[in-house]
Structure 1
Amino acid sequence: MRLEALPGYHRALTFGGDARPGSALLFGDNLRSLEALERQAAAQGVPAPLSACYTDPPYNTGEQWELPSGVVAYDDSWTDDAEFYAFLRPRLAAVHRLLSPSASVYVHIDVRISPYIRVMLDEIFGGGCFRNQITRIKCNPKNFSRRAYGSVTDVICFYSRTPAAPGPDPMYWGDARAAWSPGELDRLYPKTDADGRRYATTPLHAKGRTLNGPTGEAWRGLMPPEGKHWRRPPADLEELDQAGRIEWSSTGNPREIIYADESAGRRLQDLWTFKDPGVKRSRYPTQKPLEMLEMLVRQSSPEGGLVLDPFAGSGSTLVAAERNGRAWIGCDQGHPSLAASLGALASDERAAFSLWLPDTEMLAGPAPFDVRVEDGMLILPAGADESLTLVAGVDLSTSRADALHRHGGHWHLTADQSAPARVLLVREDGVRTIASVTPRTSS
């Protein structure tokens, strides 16, 4: 799906040259954005274009979530529970309609509301599409005085677009694995061969007799143990032995050799340890670990697929998709989210995407503060360099999303200083403007 047009939106900027087909950051109410995506997808004849979706929506906490500067990132306060669920349901339903038959969705929520979200997802997707409720260890143990156990986990509800059924499963599955820890290697692969390769052995037989068939026949004069059968036909066992993949005990008992370096790793279970980055390393409150999001992208979308995050927040899902060769769409209506997402994407020089704004929003307008450039340094009014926190700057002449970098307490232009430039400035509080900056050499 390529976003050539989007009803009710205009393409404000394109970063990094030719964007991946579909890679876009949509600023505005995400329900409106999702409905516009539905109409555009239907117009292109691909009504269900998404390969996967990860979303970390509000949790109905009743709190205001702030940036370290005190700027409110978003307000998670609602009149009552009914208002919150009425807000969330149509957005999850829109995601459901946009998912392809092989797609899946991860809905990240807290343990308090997880039962209600499970019921909602069962109603939207169907109970047969439920795959897992994943428990994530999100932080270190807490020491507090209230009479309850420490809360160190949250929940990810994992659903497929199409129910699992007998026969081939239509859901895409990348079969991501976790690397063995040194302790696991010692325990699971306790032996070492002459070349130093770690290995284990496994029986060549399994329970159940084969009355008619090669796995019930003799191999090298050996019959399977009573009540069992060979796991492979004798011809295959002979090939294994010739390849040196069978270990014979001193009593003549054969076992298959399994090497550790041929294992893809440990299959992932439904208990994960991906701890949040913490306030000092986060650009946005409720930011989730990039390592976890990259794993989800690889697990549930093919290379070149299209990944959605309708509550983009920090922009980490978008970065995870970009790094792993997937197109992406991110939606959010918060100015701090826009700034955080642009700042996150600016860290990847390969990032290529379009910024779409509602037709009622325009980037053009007078700058809320004056800027000039001296020896490649962006100079703000006296005292403003401390009070205005710029998190992203985009040179509109080169489409570079890393036009500004901070050094020595000042902002410097990264782009070529040989010609005047128009730079999109996005502050931490979401104030954005296009400023004309002219190179100037101080005397």
Structure 2
Amino acid sequence: MDNNFLTVDDVAKTLKITRQTVSKYIQKKELNAVKINKNYRVSYQDFENFLSSNSMVSEPETLYLKKSRNCYLDYEGKSNEIEILNYKPLGYLKSINDENQSLPNKMVFGDNYYVLKTLLPKYKNKVDLIYIDPPFGTGLNFSNIENDLAYSDKLVNSEFLEFIRKRLFLLRDFLSDNGSIYLHIDKKIGHYVKIIMDEVFGYENFINDITRIKCNPKNFSRNAYGNYSDMILFYAKNRDKNIWNEIKEPLTKEEEIDSFPKIHPVYGRYTTNPIHAPGITIDGDTGKEWKGILPPKGRHWRYSREELTRLDDLGLIEWSENGNPRKMVFANEHKGKKVQDVWNFKDKGLSYVDYPTQKNHDLLKRIILNSSNKDSLIIDCFAGSGSTLLVANQLNRNWIGIDNSNQSFDVIKQTFKKEKIKCNFYEYVSID
């Protein structure tokens, strides 16, 4: 079943009536329904409208939206998903500068809602990664160090949530079956956005709520804890099918000293591990005597006796005073540690960047390396400084950027010229 609709059977079960009765409601146009793959489907909003206008219907079982873990964010002005997806604006993309038509890489100036609508037919189900850092619903304007307006963040509360929600429905349709989306947002409103993303992508496709340390600790005078972090919401189009490259993080110097406390005169820091493992090998090689000793009771050698001899001949087996052998493991062979869900990527101050709220390139690199492959297509429809596009290009990914800020467009053109990045520039022209 399409997760955005109820089937006829769902409606019948909820209302405690027969399937045939539901069909009669649809035929009489008392219950609005659409045909999807030759079967009728009822949107949640249409079902709610039906309930509110039909008091003769028996009290239904509590209806929960299937994608939001028993909660539903309702607010004035919330649009129907069908209306969002079916709306077709009259507009087109006008070329400003085509540098290489053979490349998909493009930057489009315009309202991302209309631009996404225009691009969707060509790129539906073809994008492996979306990273967006939208306005945070602060009600403020943001300017650069010279006080030039970069963008306005005047939408707040429900208006802001609906602004994001409309674009998320479109972005979902861009994602490939192996695609992911990372949404960077402030904690003050991020938890509401989480519910919206559950609705759009399905709570079952939620992967992580990442805490990002964005600045040094603050010393506010107000009666509250200092706020020095924001959040990144990570969802897949289809959980467990999304691209995941498991990029490891190198140990810090302190962690390396703690994990590898000993020092080898040639190979550097090391620790030792047992050369036996749980389980008994009765007839195999790893259960037999080696160098005059047997494995401990209930265990077997972790390696073949030939391999143990080879390691020992190379001086890579350390023998304790009481004759206990252990294998040396060196720090320079460590493949790194698993990345956790707290990231320390601080933003640079306004005097060090070309665009306010410009994101740390190392943060973007981690996301792109983990959740896309070479030649994957990446979208950032709140492109801002163009950092996502720049890092994607450095990592041999294809990319599409969108923004409606004049300063954003100027900064990106200057950066791309400096870095010798080829890009096809367009602007959205409305003919409504």
TM-score (norm 1): 0.71
Residues 1:51 and 2:128 aligned together: yes
Structure 1 118/342 Cα, relative in aligned 2: closer, same or farther at 3 Å? same
Aligned equivalents of 2:91, 2:305: Cα separation in 1: 65
Change (3 A) 1:216 1:68: same
Q: Paired residue for 2:170? A: 94
Q: Check whether the contact 1:7–1:40 (CA below 8 A) recurs between aligned residues.
A: no
Change (3 A) 1:219 1:320: farther
Note if contact 1:303-1:324 (Cα within 8 Å) is conserved in structure 2.
yes
In the alignment, the residues of structure 1 paired with residue 120 and residue 284 of structure 2 have an alpha-carbon distance, to the nearest angstrom, of 56
Quick one: which amino acid aligns to residue 40 of structure 1?
K
Q: 1:341 Cα deviation (Å)?
A: 1.7
Residues 113 and 167 of structure 2 are in contact (CA less than 8 Å); yes or no, is this contact kept in structure 1?
A: yes
Question: Could you tell me which residue of structure 2 aligns to residue 69 of structure 1?
Answer: 146
Q: How many matched pairs?
A: 341
Contact 2:139–2:153, Cα closer than 8 Å, also in 1: yes
Among 296, 309, 330, which residue is 2:367 paired with?
296
| Residues 1:8 and 2:92 aligned together | yes
- Asked if 2 retains the 8 angstrom alpha-carbon contact of 1:217 and 1:234, the reply is no
2:382, 2:283 → 1: CA distance? Answer: 57
CA distance in 1, matches of 2:271, 2:306: 23
The 5 A counterparts of 1:301-320 are: 301-320=372-391
Residue matched to 1:120:
196
Change (3 A) 1:235 1:53: farther
Structure 1: how far apart are the matches of 2:160 and 2:298? 59
Which of 210, 235, 238 does residue 134 from structure 1 map onto? 210
Identity of aligned residues (%): 35
More strand by share: 1
Question: Contact (CA 8 Å) 2:91, 2:428: kept in 1 or not?
Answer: no
Aligned to 2:427: 357
In structure 1, give the amino acid aligned to 2:399: W
Q: Provide the C-alpha distance between the structure 2 equivalents of 1:109 and 1:272, rounded to a whole number of angstroms.
A: 14
Q: Deviations over 1:67-99 (max 9, x none)?
A: 222222222122x52211111012112222111
Residue 193 (structure 1) aligned with residue 275 (structure 2): no
Contact 1:246 1:254 (C-alpha < 8 Å) held by counterparts: yes
Match for 1:67: what amino acid? N
Post-superposition offset of 1:225: 3.5
Higher helix share: 2
Q: After TM superposition, list the pairs within 5 Å mapping 1:8-47 onto structure 2.
A: 8-15=92-99, 18=100, 21-41=103-123, 47=124
- Cα pair 2:286 2:303 within 8 Å, conserved: no
Whole-Å separation in 1 of the counterparts to 2:116 and 2:224: 40
**Quick check: 260-269 or 208-217, which moved more?**
208-217
Cα 1:33–1:204 change in 2 (3 A) is farther
Consecutive unaligned residues in structure 1, runs of 5 or more: 1-5, 42-46, 165-169, 362-443
Which residue identity lines up with residue 150 of structure 2 in the other structure?
Answer: A
CA contact (8 A) 2:141 2:151 kept: yes
CA contact (8 A) 1:50 1:308 kept: yes
Contact preservation (8 Å) 1:20, 1:327: no
CA distance in 2, matches of 1:347, 1:96: 33
Question: Alpha carbons of 1:122 and 1:196: their partners in 2 closer, same or farther (altered >3 Å)?
Answer: same
CA contact (8 A) 1:51 1:104 kept: yes
Q: Name the CA distance, whole Å, in 1 between partners of 2:329 and 2:132.
A: 39
Amino acid aligned to 1:113: I
Cα distance change on mapping 1:21 and 1:215 into 2, 3 Å: farther
1:24-423 pair list within 5 angstroms: 24-41=106-123, 47-78=124-155, 80-164=156-240, 170-206=241-277, 208-210=278-280, 214=284, 217-220=287-290, 222-226=293-297, 228=299, 230-232=301-303, 237=308, 240-241=311-312, 244-349=315-420, 351-360=421-430
Report SS of the residue matched to 1:37.
Answer: helix
Partner of 2:419, secondary structure, is coil
Q: 2: CA distance between counterparts of 1:195 and 1:19?
A: 54
| Aligned-pair CA distance for 1:338 | 1.0
- Relative to structure 1, is the Cα distance of residues 33 and 360 closer, same or farther in structure 2, using a 3 angstrom cutoff? closer
1:190 CA drift (Å): 1.8
Q: Is the 8 A contact 2:281 2:300 kept in 1?
A: no
- Relative to structure 1, is the Cα distance of residues 76 and 258 closer, same or farther in structure 2, using a 3 angstrom cutoff? same
TM norm structure 2 = 0.72
- Structure 2 distance, partners of 1:151, 1:138, is 9
Partner SS, residue 141 of structure 1: coil
| Partner residue in 2 for 1:392 | none
Classify the secondary structure of the residue corresponding to 1:175.
Answer: coil
Counterpart CA distance in 2 for 1:117 and 1:359 is 30
Contact in 2 for aligned 1:303/1:325 (Cα 8 Å)? yes
Instruction: Let me know the Cα RMSD of the aligned residues.
Output: 2.6
- Is the contact between residue 290 and residue 320 of structure 1 (CA under 8 Å) also seen in structure 2? yes
